[in-house]
Amino acid sequence: MRQNKIPQATAKRLPLYYRYLNNLNRQGKKRVSSKELSEAIKVDSATIRRDFSYFGALGKKGYGYNVEYLLGFFRSTLDQHETTEVALIGVGNLGTAFLNYNFTKNNNIQIKMAFDSDEEKIGQIVGGVPVYGIDEMMERIEGISVAILTVPVSEADVITEKLVKAGIEGILNFTPVRITVPEDVRVHHIDLAVELQALVYFLKHYPLQSK
Ligand code: ATP
């Protein structure tokens, strides 16, 4: 794997850097300092400098970083040339929102198909994406490596098992269930309720100093 040398925390910031630098490039900016970047994307400048050193980009004092060089690096690292096709399971409220959103601002990720068990939803096109019956998932999902899971809690484990059998490599899990997968399947878990509760807790107990 090409990205082995980049620490995971750095890799997670890549899309953030990429999006911002792309904007700068569109505005015709040739260079950017770590301070400017830091203010724009709220990552401290020491972290940015360390991250960028992994990319072989060495900022020059008084000059900053070359925007085009960095973009070239990010494009190849994030495989911007390839489109990653994604499947979504569970076209409820959250699932429907994702289908309508469909990551149109990231031109390298696209939800290609969705699955549901509800007869009324099967056969519909939501946000341009066809909704198939869950019974068809095994045959249709072939060749797709990433799935977004937005089914009810009670269904999460069963669906996960099927996804694993179908050869899925990564699952973005929006259910509160800590799903179990084999070692070679990666799960990223996003529990929106927990995130929101954490934010409220921090606001209460760790108020930010007023500016
Ligand atoms: P809604 O109001 O549309 O039901 P919701 O997000 O509150 O939305 P949930 O009960 O969380 O509904 O279910 C999410 C979606 O998952 C629904 O569209 C439901 O039909 C679908 N679903 C439930 N069981 C399965 C299953 N076994 N396989 C695939 N999809 C399922």
Binding region for NAD(+): 90-95
32 part of a folded domain: yes
Whether residue 72 is found in the same domain as residue 114 = no
Ligand 1 atom 16: the closest Cα is on which residue? 90
- pTM for this one? 0.73
Nearest atom in ligand 1 to the alpha carbon of residue 158 is 27
Burial class (CB in 10 A: 0-12, 13-18, 19+), 125: exposed
Which domain does 45 fall in, by range? 3-76
107 part of a folded domain: yes
| 113-169 confidence digits (pLDDT tens) | 999 999 999 999 999 999 999 999 999 999 999 999 999 999 999 999 999 999 999
Whether residue 127 is found in the same domain as residue 181 = yes
Mean pLDDT, residues 53-82 taken together: 78
Ligand 1 atom 3: the closest Cα is on which residue? 92
211 has pLDDT over 60: no
Query: What CATH number does residue 71 fall under?
Result: 1.10.10.10
Distance 177 CA to ligand 1 centre (A): 15
Residues 6+ apart with CB under 8 A from 48: 17, 34, 37, 38
Nearest atom in ligand 1 to the alpha carbon of residue 150 is 14
Highest mean pLDDT among 39-43, 80-84, 86-90: 86-90
10 part of a folded domain: yes
101 part of a folded domain: yes
Whether residue 49 is found in the same domain as residue 88 = no
Number of folded domains that form the chain? 2
Nearest atom in ligand 1 to the alpha carbon of residue 118 is 20
Distance CA 111, CA 146 (A): 9
- Alpha carbon dihedral 92, 97, 98, 101, in 10-degree steps, equals 160
Which pLDDT score is estimated for 2?
Answer: 43
Give 120 or 9, the one with higher predicted confidence: 120
In 32-64, which positions are buried (b, 16+ CB within 10 angstroms) versus exposed (e)?
bbbebbbeeeebeeeebbebbeebeeebeeeeb
Residues 6+ apart with CB under 8 A from 151: 89, 90, 92, 159, 175
Whether residue 105 is found in the same domain as residue 156 = yes
Ligand 1 atom 5: the closest Cα is on which residue? 92
* Complex-level ipTM: 0.93
211 part of a folded domain: no
Whether residue 98 is found in the same domain as residue 175 = yes
